[in-house]
Amino acid sequence: MKVIAVESLRIAERPNLVWVRLRTDEGITGLGESWFGSGPVEADLHDRIAPLLLGEDPGNIEALNRRLRPYVGFFGSGAEMRACSAVDVALWDIAGKAAGKPIHDLLGGALRESIPVYNTCAGPDYVSKTADVRPRNFGLPGDGHQGRVYEDLDGFMNRADELAAELLDMGIRSMKIWPFDFVDSAADGLDISAAEIATALLPFEKVRESHGTGMRLKAELHGLWSLAAARKIAAALEPMGMDWIEDPVWMDHISDLGKLVQSTKAPIAAGETLGGIGQFDALLQLGGVATAIVDVTWGGGITVARQVAALARAAGKSIAFHDCSGPVTLASSTHLALACPNVVEQEITRAFYHGWYHQLVDAPPPLENGHIRTPPGPGLGLELLPELDGREDAILRVTAAS
């Protein structure tokens, strides 16, 4: 089997998403995805990666993953790594389809039929127009946006107790929120006042007052804070009985993360913006990080994600697969989550899942009573809807073998 064409597809309605399709001479097509910086990802896919892929056997996943890695100066989770990640997922999709098996079977087999989910409490338009992770791009409801499904960001800011009750009714017993992003000090992250901390704690307090420990709580800090500020925030959150505090410090100062974990009893989770096995190894060697987080379509694809899961397991740590992006990312993450013994929950964004995933793919991973499983069928188990190619806002680019 040989790769004969590399395709990318973007739609203006979801400008942060980019899909990759690898077509083979045996009629099998592999699907991948990445997000943020979709234009640069597309450019790297066709300008650098396609010439390295065309004519190659897609079954040589490990060798191709190594071959496609960018020059060290462009490592991390930048556009080049995201392009590689999308391609890697597509290669695993081809492998599963060729074998007639779901990807989790190729990873050693599913350890469970389904896994619990936690809800990232974003709304349907969260970070949907640009890659700027700031409140102005959080898609908060306004004119023309009334009645949308699951406005969970507005929910956690204004009625966190009611939002938690809704999730519990759906069988979802874990939620992640980020009220600290909205205080004025988050603009530079150097310090935070006692008054700002008190304001940001209100949603957590509402959930605890109404539901006790029946809802697991995670705090997302988006890597906005200095070590000094993060220490204040962690100390304030400790009495809340946090499931974890995620990305509390600027991740380009990873040594500060090691200092933070020594000064708080709250579990720390981190890693979604890292890429490549070396960066995750450095994270895990900090010792006190409780959970490593991998974004499969940012950090190196399924190939790297399963390696990181093994490193974390050897270190006695859990791993979580990030999802606040698109349906292919969720599907690939769910295959990994079912196959890796040190995964506790799979992240979802119910506003995305119920709001627009079904407009893009034929079979999102089934979600029932707070548990998710992989779609039936070989490979990923899902495909892009065929009508996406013909949309007026579609950008389809093909690089084929001559």
Q: What would the pLDDT profile of 11-29 be if each residue is shown by its tens digit? A: 999 999 999 999 999 999 9
Strands in 268-345 per DSSP E: 268-270, 291-294, 318-321
pLDDT at residue number 143: 44
Q: Evaluate whether 103 touches 380 at the Cβ level (below 8 Å).
A: yes
pLDDT at residue number 71: 76
> How many residues would you count in the chain?
402
**Arithmetic mean of pLDDT, 50-61:** 97
Of all residues in the chain, what percent carry a pLDDT higher than 70? Answer: 97
Burial class (CB in 10 A: 0-12, 13-18, 19+), 140: middle
The segment(s) of the chain belonging to CATH 3.20.20.120 are 105-372
Task: Sort strands 174-177 and 29-35 into parallel, antiparallel or unpaired.
Answer: unpaired
**C-beta atoms surrounding 379 within 10 Å:** 29
Give per-residue pLDDT as tens, 216-232: 999 999 999 999 999 99
Considering the domain delimited by 3-100+383-400, tell me its CATH architecture: 2-Layer Sandwich (3.30)
Confidence of residue 137 (pLDDT cuts 50, 70, 90): confident
Q: How far is CA 354 from CA 15, 18, 360, 372, in A?
A: 19, 20, 12, 13
Better pLDDT: 125 or 132: 125
What CATH number belongs to 105-372? Answer: 3.20.20.120
Q: CA 363 to CA 378: how far, in whole Å?
A: 12
Closest among 276, 273, 234 to 250, alpha carbons compared:
273
Residues 6 or more apart whose Cβ sits within 8 Å of residue 216: 118, 173, 174, 175, 243
Check pLDDT > 70 for residue 73: no
pLDDT at residue number 148: 67
402: DSSP letter: -
Q: CA 140 to CA 193: how far, in whole Å?
A: 25
Give per-residue pLDDT as tens, 290-303: 999 999 999 999 99
Cα diameter, the chain: 65
* φ and ψ of 288, to 5 deg: -90, -5
Q: Evaluate whether 339 touches 108 at the Cβ level (below 8 Å).
A: yes
pLDDT at residue number 61: 97
Indicate left, alpha or beta for 366 from its phi (over 0: left) and psi (-120 to 50: alpha).
Answer: beta
Confidence of residue 136 (pLDDT cuts 50, 70, 90): confident
Check pLDDT > 50 for residue 396: yes
* φ and ψ of 348, to 5 deg: -135, 165
Better pLDDT: 280 or 253: 280
375: DSSP letter: P
Closest among 351, 327, 370, 367 to 153, alpha carbons compared:
351
**Arithmetic mean of pLDDT, 125-136:** 77
Of all residues in the chain, what percent carry a pLDDT higher than 90? Answer: 86
Least trusted range by pLDDT, from 139-143, 298-302, 384-388: 139-143
Q: CA 157 to CA 179: how far, in whole Å?
A: 7
Check pLDDT > 80 for residue 72: no
**Arithmetic mean of pLDDT, 336-348:** 98
Q: How far is CA 176 from CA 119, 252, 256, 351, 364, in A?
A: 6, 23, 23, 13, 22
Least trusted range by pLDDT, from 61-65, 99-103, 273-277, 341-345: 273-277
The segment(s) of the chain belonging to CATH 3.30.390.10 are 3-100+383-400
Q: How far is CA 326 from CA 47, 89, 292, 350, 364, in A?
A: 24, 13, 21, 12, 10
pLDDT at residue number 133: 77
Per the DSSP assignment, residues forming a β-bridge with 117 are 346
Confidence of residue 156 (pLDDT cuts 50, 70, 90): very high
pLDDT at residue number 144: 47
**Arithmetic mean of pLDDT, 319-346:** 97
Closest among 169, 165, 168, 143 to 155, alpha carbons compared:
165
Q: CA 353 to CA 68: how far, in whole Å?
A: 31
Q: Evaluate whether 219 touches 238 at the Cβ level (below 8 Å).
A: no
